[in-house]
């Protein structure tokens, strides 16, 4: 995890820089693909994923080292060819994991956040899950295990494979000629994120598009069908926690309340979006039936709320970089403590972005308790060997946030999206 944290210290600033460039470019050419609240929500979602992954919050059902030990039949020399084979195996595995996430109700929960944005830009690439708590990737890496690819190579290439999927989340790059037959391009991935009937559940590959062409999931971007982005059951929130577990909660409630006993079991393994007939009638869920009439989620937000949300995002990034930079020096308790501050802060300010009436009171309690905690004597002793200025920053941040709550006019929801 320490190596992953170090990689994030480089990757996160790079991603932020490229997103800023995209925003500036969009403004310059008069084709802005970002909206303020959506981009804040996307960046925030990325931070929650970084926290979850850096803490290793996952239950490994089958480990790759175990598979290598049990089923490897050859041992290839450690050269470029081995690393290339390993990368191909990772890409092949990711295709099938991605396909599973799209096709099965239970697994869609861990992928919905990536598709939840109704925009398409580099920021939405950072909408990554915190609900993928079961690790089964190794099952799809059986070809690599049979070939005896060392676990260290897999763990080295996996983050690079993930980071390599960032660049093609953009509207500003058109089709790329012969590359359209080799790699996943922005054009192909626009199709993937679209909810148009012609496009939905297509182009599931991550780096090499050969898997889509080979297994029948490829779809070219059509000139006469403009992609419409989001999910068919709009999430209607900026809060990454609601987005991450919204679908799972619906599955749980449907399974509990349905009068069809067979459906209580089958709902988890049915195609994504399937619901028991009685639940669709008793508890209908707002759904987009005509993508051409999609109404994007929006909140009537005041300027001071936008400024406040941006400052909150900056503060959260400072907390995050403190955690990543000092990862090796912090024990597990302090890692979880700082991570909790970040996660609770995110829950608070995205709830205000959503216009919840209780969010202001939640923030008041959060900041008050934090100030009490940060002023306890033993905190100064702890930060004496890491960064005492960070403690002072924390006290200043929570004090300023507490004071600012007196002047923030809560936003009001005005758009929810098309309903049944």
Question: 186-202: per-residue pLDDT in tens?
Answer: 999 999 999 999 999 99
Is 24 domain-assigned?
no
Torsion of CA 216, 220, 225, 229, to 10 degrees: 80
Domain enclosing residue 74, as ranges: 58-117+131-215
Is 274 domain-assigned?
no
The pLDDT assigned to 419 comes to 35
Q: Let me know whether 176 and 312 are in one domain.
A: no
Is 95 domain-assigned?
yes
Per-residue pLDDT of 347-367, as tens digits, reads 999 999 999 989 999 999 999
CB 244 within 8 A of CB 41: no
CB 354 within 8 A of CB 299: yes
- In angstroms, what is the C-alpha Rg of the chain? 23
Is 190 domain-assigned?
yes
Is 8 domain-assigned?
no
pLDDT of residue 7 exceeding 90: no
**DSSP code, position 370:** H
Per-residue pLDDT of 305-325, as tens digits, reads 999 999 999 999 999 999 999
Which residue, 150, 183, 215, sits at the end of a domain?
Answer: 215
d(CA 360, CA 353): 10
CB 279 within 8 A of CB 266: no
The pLDDT assigned to 389 comes to 79
Q: Let me know whether 79 and 185 are in one domain.
A: yes
Which residue, 159, 189, 215, sits at the end of a domain?
Answer: 215
Name beta bridge partners: 135.
Answer: 60
Is 362 domain-assigned?
yes
Q: Let me know whether 187 and 327 are in one domain.
A: no
Per-residue pLDDT of 215-268, as tens digits, reads 999 999 999 999 999 999 999 999 999 999 999 999 999 999 999 999 999 999
Which residue, 164, 194, 215, sits at the end of a domain?
Answer: 215
CB 162 within 8 A of CB 15: no
- Burial class of residue 384 (count of CB atoms within 10 Å of its CB; 0-12, 13-18, 19+): exposed
CB 391 within 8 A of CB 373: no
Is 35 domain-assigned?
no
How confident is the model over 282-286, as a mean pLDDT? 94
Structurally, how many domains does the chain consist of? 2
pLDDT grade for 302, boundaries at 50, 70 and 90? confident
Is 34 domain-assigned?
no
């Amino acid at each position: 995890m320490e190596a992953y944290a170090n990689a994030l210290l480089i990757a996160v600033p790079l991603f932020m820089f490229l997103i800023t460039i995209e925003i500036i470019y969009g403004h310059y050419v008069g084709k802005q693909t970002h909206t303020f609240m959506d981009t804040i929500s996307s960046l925030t979602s990325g931070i929650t994923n970084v926290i979850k992954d850096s803490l290793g919050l996952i239950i490994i059902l089958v480990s790759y080292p175990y598979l290598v030990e049990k089923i490897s039949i050859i041992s290839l020399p450690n050269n470029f060819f081995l690393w290339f084979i390993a990368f191909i195996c990772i890409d092949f595995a990711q295709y099938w994991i991605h396909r599973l996430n799209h096709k099965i109700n239970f697994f869609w929960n861990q992928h919905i956040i990536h598709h939840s944005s109704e925009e398409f830009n580099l920021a939405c690439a950072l909408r990554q899950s915190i609900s993928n708590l079961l690790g089964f990737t190794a099952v799809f890496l059986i070809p690599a295990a049979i070939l005896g690819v060392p676990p260290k190579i897999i763990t080295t290439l996996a983050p690079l494979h993930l980071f390599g999927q960032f660049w093609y989340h953009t509207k500003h790059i058109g089709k790329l000629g012969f590359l359209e037959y080799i790699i996943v391009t922005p054009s192909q991935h626009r199709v993937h994120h679209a909810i148009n009937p012609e496009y939905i559940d297509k182009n599931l590959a991550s780096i090499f598009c050969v898997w889509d062409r080979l297994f029948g999931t490829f779809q070219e971007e059509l000139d006469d069908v403009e992609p419409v982005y989001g999910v068919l059951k709009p999430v209607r929130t900026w809060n990454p926690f609601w987005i991450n577990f919204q679908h799972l909660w619906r599955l749980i409630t449907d399974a509990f309340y349905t009068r069809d006993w067979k459906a209580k079991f089958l709902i988890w393994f049915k195609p994504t979006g399937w619901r028991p007939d009685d639940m669709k009638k008793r508890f209908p869920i707002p759904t987009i039936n005509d993508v051409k009439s999609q109404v994007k989620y929006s909140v009537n937000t005041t300027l001071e709320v936008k400024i406040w949300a941006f400052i909150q995002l900056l503060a959260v990034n400072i907390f995050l970089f403190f955690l990543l930079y000092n990862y090796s020096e912090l024990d597990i308790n302090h890692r979880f403590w700082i991570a909790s501050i970040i996660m609770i802060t995110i829950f608070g300010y995205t709830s205000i972005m959503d216009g919840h009436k209780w969010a202001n009171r939640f923030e008041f309690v959060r900041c008050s308790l934090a100030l009490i905690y940060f002023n306890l004597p033993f905190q100064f002793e702890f930060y004496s060997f890491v960064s005492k200025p960070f403690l002072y920053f924390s006290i200043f941040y929570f004090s300023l946030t507490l004071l600012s709550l007196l002047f923030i006019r809560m936003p009001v929801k005005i758009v929810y999206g098309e309903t049944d």
